[in-house]
Structure 1
Amino acid sequence: MIAFLSGQLLHTEQDAAVIDVQGVGYEVHLSARSRDNLPPPGGKVALHICTSVREDAITLYGFPDSSQKQLFLLLNTVSGIGPKLALAILSGIEPAALRSAICLKDVKRLTALPGVGKKTAERLCMELAEKIQGFAAPPPQTAKASQPPVAEGFALHDAASALMNLGYPQETAWQALRTVQQADPLKTAAMRVDELLRAALQKLAA
């Protein structure tokens, strides 16, 4: 099983990246957060890998650290959650915020995540509340120390819910908010819901 890959980024796709490891290109599926934090094509990348082997396919899932890999595996133990939905969940919320939401049984916050309905949110709380309490936090990042951390707050989730109420698909709503967030993470962390909504709508209209 492939557990780790280090090589040169060839290009990214909607939910994956192709990594050149000594002349062999590996397609690795990623959360949107992990994909957005990759360097430009040609840059060096190192990812922890979860290998899924099925009769019809061998699929690689990549993570920036072992903690996120373990969280991905933990999400997959929940009834009705497979790799695709687990990546969607990790795309919409930081690991620490996800742990907090599950421990607090914050169904409203969980249902704001892409692909998570009320029943799935309730299963997450019921099946993972105890398991995730001792979940280890990821080690401090050093490779991108110059970049400010991306804050995760309730306002962001409320803004996503508002966009979905306006008729935007979950993925489109979160992509617009991530674009706003990446432009100025610290400013975004202090923005109110109405300010986030206005900024996201401007991105969607561009």
Structure 2
Amino acid sequence: MIASLNGSLLAKSPGTVVVDVGGVGYEVFISSRTYDMLPENGQVCSLFIQTVVRADAINLFGFSKKEEKELFLLLIAVSGIGPKLALTILSGIGVGEFCQAIMAKDLARLTTFPGIGKKTAQRLCVELAEKVDGLSGSDAGASAVPRMSDTPTINVMGDAVSALINLGYPQATAWQVLRTVEEQLAGEVESPPVEELIRRALRLLAAR
């Protein structure tokens, strides 16, 4: 079983990458957070890998951080959560923030992801409450600048995403632009109100 890949990055997109290892190109499914951490094409790329074998396919899922892979494994062990849905969750939330949401039983935050209804969110809380404790601090120290997702107001991003979706923007677009806003505000405002996030997000979307 492939546990990691280290090779030249041939191609990348928000959902997949192709890594050349010894002349063989491996297609790997990734989250948008892992995508944000990739180098430029042609440079060396290292990913933690989880191989998922099915009757009709063998798929590789890649992660920039070991903790992200560990959370992926916890997610796909929950009934109703497949690999693609697990990647959707990982694209929209950091490991530390997800663990906080599970321990706080924050159903409102968990149900912001497509495919996650109230019952599935409740199942996640029940099945993962004791398993995520070791991962809860994994995002700490990743950056010297505090991120909004590390603050107690973890519902703010979810509320902003919901507002953009209600305005007609796709969820993936909403998460992407709000992460850009998050980076812009890092170090400026510790706990920005949801209105400020939405205002800045709409400004970025209008400029596209």
TM-score (norm 2): 0.86
Contact 1:92–1:114 (8 Å) recurs in 2:
no
1: CA distance, partners of 2:146 / 2:45: 19
Q: How far is 1:122 from its partner?
A: 1.2
- The answer to whether the aligner puts 1:82 opposite 2:82 as a matched pair is yes
- Report if aligned partners of 1:115, 1:170 keep a CA contact under 8 Å in 2: no
* Conserved 8 A contact 1:181-1:188: no
Aligned residue identity for 1:165: N
Percent of matched pairs sharing the same residue: 52
Q: Determine helix, strand or coil for the equivalent of 1:134.
A: helix
* Distance (whole Å) between structure 1 residues aligned to residue 24 and residue 145 of structure 2: 33
Residue in 1 aligned with 2:156?
155
Matched, 1:127 2:161: no
> Is the 2:52–2:58 Cα contact (8 Å) retained in structure 1?
yes
User: How far has the Cα of 1:184 moved from its partner?
Assistant: 5.1
Structure 2 gaps of 5+ residues are: none
Segments of 5+ residues of structure 1 without an aligned counterpart are none
State the distance in 2 between where 1:50 and 1:93 align. Answer: 19
Give the corresponding residue for 1:176. Answer: 177
Deviations 1:123-150 (A, max 9, x none): 11121112222347448888xx7x8565
Deviations 1:18-53 (A, max 9, x none): 111121111111111111111111221111100011
Corresponding residue number in structure 2 for 1:165: 166
RMSD in angstroms over aligned alpha carbons?
2.3
How many residues align? The count is 203
What amino acid sits opposite 2:86 in the alignment? A
> Using a 3 Å threshold, how does the CA distance of structure 1 residues 188 and 55 change in structure 2: closer, same or farther?
farther
| Farther-moved stretch of structure 1 (195-204 vs 76-85) | 195-204
Q: Which residue of 1 aligns with 2:25?
A: 25
2:157 aligned partner, one-letter code:
L
Question: 1:21-60 to 2 correspondence within 5 Å?
Answer: 21-60=21-60
Provide the secondary structure at the position in 2 that maps to 1:69: helix
* One-letter amino acid matched to 1:106: D
Query: Is contact 2:145-2:187 (8 Å) kept?
Result: yes
Matched-pair contact (CA < 8 Å) for 1:176–1:203: yes
Consecutive aligned runs of 4 or more in structure 1 exceeding 6 Å deviation: 139-142
C-alpha change, 1:139 and 1:203, in structure 2 (3 Å) is closer
Q: Which moved more, 1:112-121 or 1:18-27?
A: 112-121
Q: Is the 8 A contact 1:11 1:17 kept in 2?
A: yes
User: SS at the partner of 2:46?
Assistant: strand
Corresponding residue SS for 1:68 = helix
Structure 2 equivalent of residue 69 of structure 1? 69
Deviation at 1:61, TM superposition (A): 0.4
Secondary structure of the residue that 1:131 maps to in structure 2?
A: coil
TM-score normalized with structure 1 length: 0.87
8 Å contact from structure 2 (residues 17, 30) kept in 1: yes
